A and B are shown apart, each in its own frame.
Chain A
Amino acid sequence: MTDVATGTIRLEKLTKSYDGHGKPAVDSLTMDIPAGEIVVLVGPSGCGKTTTMKLINRLIEPTSGRIYLDGKDVTRENPDLLRRRIGYSIQQTGLFPHRTVADNIATVPRMLGWSKDRTAARVDELLNLVGLDPDTYRRRFPKQLSGGQQQRVGVARALGGDPEVMLMDEPFGAIDPLNREALQNEFLRIQAELKKTIVFVTHDIDEAVKMGDRIAIFSQNGRVEQYDTPEKILSEPANEFVSSFIGAGAAVRRLSLSRLADVEVPDNWPTVGADDSADRRRVAAAGTDRDFLLVLDADRRPVGWLPAAEAAEDGRTVPLLGALGPGDTLYEALDRMLTYSSTGHVVTDAEGRYRGVLELDSLRTLIHANNSAAGQSQEVS
């Protein structure tokens, strides 16, 4: 087996049992983890997801079964050498409190015998990657960082030796919801660049859906009830356990899988230029039955709404409520419409230029299209 992509993991009939416990913690688990994907292990506590993850880098030694990395059996390899090839990051970060940020990140490169220059360059590269300015943070100690910053350093440290495989145990679990979302998005951006094989453990199905290329739903004793893409799991849960675990609202959750960049947004809303004369504004207002016109600047960036009834008067423009970008999902579009109870919501492209306006009606059309694309018609009348 030499033709296997770097970063591929195969678990074969892995079992871990402890003396004195009746049932094994993980019972004869076989699983293929493709290179370059994020595979999320999700399930209730005590389901064996963390044990399974730790079996991969042999922090927990399997009772029986085989682990293959890049097609090579590593079940008997020196565990310390194996672990230096596998990034490891955990919820409590486990940063060395007595070492600086730079020394923490340099841990694995130093063990791999990298030169001083190469290690220092790697530290700066990784700090930049996780969005921390090297000159500011290099010499800090972990306790001088916020929780979110510590988590970033933890991820940077796990990436230190440029491993093909990363194991992450609830890496964003201890972060407040607002920062967690920012970190998740950032991590997805990093992963799009790095294309590591990532095994990600969480108990949160929303996080699993958001982060995973594939999701493995564990029930107990390392039993995988379903191992598939988020779309498939949400639209075709394999059994009763999976449907109850993903819970109510699977249809709503599925909306978070469609990014606005990938859907058609109606662009027939009446617009006026910010520098247009009063006459032109009046003409534009007369030509539509909308209550508001969208005002665009010279670069076609939306700047505000102009009430149609007062189109000819100056200084009547009202501000926009946060436009939706290409990275936002249908879920966020719906959420924002409900939050602001607005009729129309501006959608922009990556450069912030006007792409179209979503209304509740056009959004509903998109949601229906989305649902039938996922192989299920969930018509709600």
Chain B
Amino acid sequence: MGFYDFLSGNWPEVRDATVDHAILVLEGLGIAVAIGLPLAVLIYRTVLPRAVVLGIAGIFLTIPSYALFGLLITPLGLGNGPSIVALTMYAFLPIIRNAVVGLREVDPAVVESARGMGMSRAKILLSVELPLAWPVIVTGLRVAAQLLLGIAAIAAAVNGPGLGNLILQGLDKAGTPFAIYLTIEGAAAIIALAVLFDAAFALLNRLTTSRGLSA
């Protein structure tokens, strides 16, 4: 049986796993943004908290993914729980660091003149600093998404959803011709998702960034 025959045989499975994979990554990304962005806003102007938060996020990223998923089984059980939490932890560093860098790169003269015109602190943050930092923040999201798409394959090891399951099945069947097919399906679908996500973030960046910053 050739690869294409095999693919047409288990296509529904590949399709569902791809959708699950994308959802898993978006969940991890979403939670990381929901926690990371406000955290970045809180710490970007203070020296010690900034160093502590970025240090911890950096440590998260260095934990081998197999180990992290495994460690999370104890508190969170199997399946979706540990998968989403692990992905969230990996996404923190690119998201928080880019947000901090973006906010810190805003021209101090622009912020000073905003204060000088009588803008409140909250208004400066929402209508000046965040819009100016936005392209850098979106780049952080883009990097985090690419990172998570790869790591999410490990979720299968803790009974999580996604394309890792195809790859894991392939490993189980090592030595049979189907092993290679399954692994290729899983990997190719992840690559396809990565290309898709990248294009989506490029589009998001273009649509939500002021022309005054790009043109």
Given the interface contacts A92-B107, A94-B109, A97-B110, does A107 sit within 8 Å of B117 by beta carbon? yes
Interface size class of B (residues with CB under 8 A): 20 to 34
* Chain B residues with CB under 8 A of A98: 131-132, 209-210, 212-213
Q: B-facing mask of A137-152, CB < 8 A → 1, else 0?
A: 0000111100000000
> How close is B194's CB to chain A, nearest CB, in angstroms?
30
Contact B112 A97, beta carbon cutoff 8 Å: no
Given the interface contacts A141-B212, A143-B212, does A95 sit within 8 Å of B110 by beta carbon? yes
Q: A-facing mask of B113-154, CB < 8 A → 1, else 0?
A: 111111110000000100110000000000000000000000
> How close is B123's CB to chain A, nearest CB, in angstroms?
8
Contact of A94 among B114, B118, B120, B210 (CB under 8 A): B114
Q: A-facing mask of B174-215, CB < 8 A → 1, else 0?
A: 000000000000000000000000000000000001111101
Among residues of B, the one whose C-beta sits closest to the C-beta of A79 is B118
* Chain B residues with CB under 8 A of A57: 116
Given the interface contacts A98-B212, A100-B212, does A111 sit within 8 Å of B119 by beta carbon? yes
* Chain A residues with CB under 8 A of B110: 94-97
Q: B-facing mask of A71-91, CB < 8 A → 1, else 0?
A: 000000001111110001110
Given the interface contacts A99-B210, A141-B215, does A83 sit within 8 Å of B132 by beta carbon? no
> How close is A158's CB to chain B, nearest CB, in angstroms?
8
Contact B117 A92, beta carbon cutoff 8 Å: no
* Chain B residues with CB under 8 A of A144: 215
Q: A-facing mask of B24-41, CB < 8 A → 1, else 0?
A: 000000000000000000
Given the interface contacts A98-B131, A99-B212, A141-B212, does A83 sit within 8 Å of B109 by beta carbon? no
Q: For the complex, what is the distance from the CA of A88 to the CA of B110, rounded to whole Å? A: 12
Among residues of A, the one whose C-beta sits closest to the C-beta of B213 is A98
Tell me the dominant secondary structure on chain B's binding face: helix
Any B CB within 8 A of the CB of A51: no
> How close is B95's CB to chain A, nearest CB, in angstroms?
21
Contact A88 B120, beta carbon cutoff 8 Å: no
Q: For the complex, what is the distance from the CA of A111 to the CA of B211, rounded to whole Å? A: 23
Given the interface contacts A141-B212, A141-B215, does A97 sit within 8 Å of B132 by beta carbon? yes
Q: For the complex, what is the distance from the CA of A252 to the CA of B120, rounded to whole Å? A: 48
Among residues of A, the one whose C-beta sits closest to the C-beta of B112 is A94
* Chain B residues with CB under 8 A of A296: none
Among A160-208, those with CB < 8 Å from B are 160, 167
* Chain B residues with CB under 8 A of A141: 210-212, 215
> How close is B108's CB to chain A, nearest CB, in angstroms?
9
Q: For the complex, what is the distance from the CA of A212 to the CA of B43, rounded to whole Å? A: 44
A residues adjacent to B (C-beta < 8 A): 57, 59, 79-84, 88-90, 92-100, 107-108, 111, 141-144, 154, 157-158, 160, 167
Sort A-B residue pairs by CB-CB distance and give the 10 closest, nearest first. A94-B113, A141-B212, A88-B116, A98-B210, A83-B118, A84-B118, A92-B109, A94-B109, A80-B118, A98-B212
Can you offer 21 A-B residue contacts whose CB atoms are under 8 A?
Answer: A59-B116, A82-B118, A83-B117, A84-B118, A88-B113, A88-B117, A90-B112, A90-B113, A93-B113, A94-B110, A95-B110, A97-B110, A97-B210, A98-B132, A98-B209, A99-B210, A99-B212, A107-B119, A143-B212, A158-B117, A160-B117
